[in-house]
Amino acid sequence: MVDLVTGDPLLTALDDEQRVAAEALIGPVCVLAGAGTGKTRAITHRIAYGVASGSYDPARVMALTFTSRAAAELRTRLRGLGAGTVAARTFHAAALAQLNHFWPIVVGGPAPRVLEFKGRLLGLAAERSRVKVDTATLRDVAAEIEWRKVGLVGMDDYRVRLASRGAPGSLTAEQMLALVEAYEELKDERRAIDFEDVLLATAGMIESEPAVAMQVREAYRHFVVDEYQDVSPAQQHLLELWLGGRRDVCVVGDASQTIYSFAGASAEYLLGFERHYPDATMVRLERNYRSTPEIVDVANRLMRGRPGALRLAAAAPDGGDPAASDGSAPDGSAVDGSTPARSVPDDRSAPIADPAPTRGGRAAADGIAHGPAPEVVEYPDELAESRGVAARVRQRIDAGTPPESIAVLLRVNSQSALFEQALGDVGVSVRVRGAQRFFDRPEVREAVHAIRAAALAIADEPLFKSVSDVLRSLGWTVEPPAGPGAVRDRWESLNAIARLVDDQPAGTTFRRFADDLRTRAETHHEPAVAAVTIATLHSAKGLEWDEVHLPGLTEGMLPIAYATGFEAIDEERRLLYVGITRARRRLSLSFSRWSAGRRAEREPSRFLRELDIRTPGASRPASAAGAPARARR
């Protein structure tokens, strides 16, 4: 047992709940940490306190997370706390290091090469299996392979599931299986493994070689897993093999931020931790140090009653005990039920900041007082919405808000073009995070090239027909493809170009439209600094800004059209929750009644109806289109 020192600066830097987590150094520990509650501070101080108190040998501690960027953030913080020799890695980096070390001993020769991308080899596999497939479908095939492997689904089971799950694009089940088999054969012939194989091969080596298992378990005694709601079955299996039946593991996560269940991971490991370890130390971090009470209240309303949801309470500016956002204490209800999750892409950054400095042994939230009420703004159409948001952003910058502290968060990549253009029109620089810039996408470059080539032959026909004829030749259709994936993303990109026709002045020629496309592509440069962030909701996870705009909140966009069934809709709810909790001071949500060109009327998102935000005093947001817009009451 560790002799706890009351005045230890590593402990006095924490609030009461964070300190409980930091002092629980031995045995299983689960930290249920809501958005903005300082979970990274809690786990890094816990590790540093374990090292400083002599409970941990720093060489035998492994901190695990899901992206190289997040691992680098952990290492930086641990260095600052005097625990810089502790290993902080992604699951894949830790597994690959072990694979490279043990392969020459167990198998002989160097470990297989790891494929950076599956695309090229899948293209060769398609040729070998004589399956005709386009690039977008190949990307969906790659995602399907990843889903199968991280979910520990064997080929026999996959054959059965494929009948109900369906193959990507227009592929039949037989074609999909032939592609997968040819892909695996090519990997073996070339002595290569893919990203998912790294986890599977390392696990297999530990399971089959007692000497390897003994050395691995001797090397690391204590494990800390960040973002545990994102763990996949393959990662969980490897973690259990590393532990080897031991119990010194601390996990940290938030079930309300599980937004990748479509890729095969599960939050059951987080929500079922106490069932697996009945004597585990369970800690709930619900004191939010990021957002104003008004924003915290909106987040709580959205997630009220959802499985595993924590009840956030806005931290008081004086560091005292905060009340819950609706004036009552946190409900303290037990975590039950489960929601799925997955590994997070590498474009996610770690949280920007720890909680503020402390006073009297409790973390203080300096400057987090009441702020403006979040608002919901209705616009007549998508163009008016993009221009209205841009005008509001311009006003905030003119009032002194740094542009880098503002973000526009979107559901899908294809929404970015309108907002990039609208912000550019009012002189606001933007940076696009988490996805390629619109005009850098391969399908967009192909479309722009085809439109410019076709425009050389001047045709006396309506502009939309000229543009749509070119886009149809590239695979665009009036109706979107069913389901998510690369095929749907490609369609969204091409459809965004089709919608640009509606923005053109009357009488615009095909050649003029083609020249305008080229100018847009040439002028959309991503600045290095002082720029408003445009990001998808997925890529915004782990980040925060003073001011956040969430446009496009309509049925069919959020929740997305292909989200059917309770679990899929709940995933969309959690995605909106992630967006809301990125905001520190100001939050604006908006929707438009009509699509571009007024082709289809839309309904506001069901989530907006649930939130029932009432903005004090109706506002009329500036709209470059001059169309009426109003704050929804």
Q: Write the DSSP string, 536-585.
A: EHHHHTT--EEEEEE---BTBBTTBTT--SHHHHHHHHHHHHHHHTTEEE
Question: Does the annotation list 267 as a binding residue?
Answer: no
- Tell whether 507 is in a known binding site: no
305 marked ligand binding residue: no
Cα–Cα distance, 372 to 615 (Å, whole number): 9
36 marked ligand binding residue: yes
Q: Is the peptide bond preceding residue 559 cis, with omega within 30 degrees of 0?
A: yes
Query: In the structure encoding, which two tokens stand for residue 415, read together?
Result: 């929404």
33 marked ligand binding residue: yes
User: Residue 38, annotated ligand binder?
Assistant: yes
Q: How far apart are CA 589 and CA 552, in angstroms?
A: 8
Burial of 155 (0-12, 13-18, 19+ CB in 10 A): exposed
Cα separation, 338 vs 571, in Å, equals 12
Residue 531 annotated in ligand binding: no
Geometric angle at alpha carbon 572, from 568 and 578, rounded to 5°: 140
Say if strands 375-381 and 583-594 run parallel, antiparallel, or are unpaired. parallel
Distance in angstroms (rounded) separating the CA atoms of residues 163 and 153: 14
383 φ, ψ (degrees, to nearest 5): -65, -45
Tell me 54's DSSP state.
Answer: T
> Residue 397: CA atoms inside 13 Å, Cβ hemisphere, count?
20
Is 485 assigned a ligand-binding role in the annotation? no
Per DSSP, the three-state class of 346 is coil
Q: Which residues contact 385 (CB under 8 A, 6 or more apart)?
A: 379, 551, 552, 590, 591, 592
User: Which residue ranges make up the annotated binding site for ATP?
Assistant: 33-40
Binding site as annotated, residues: 33-40
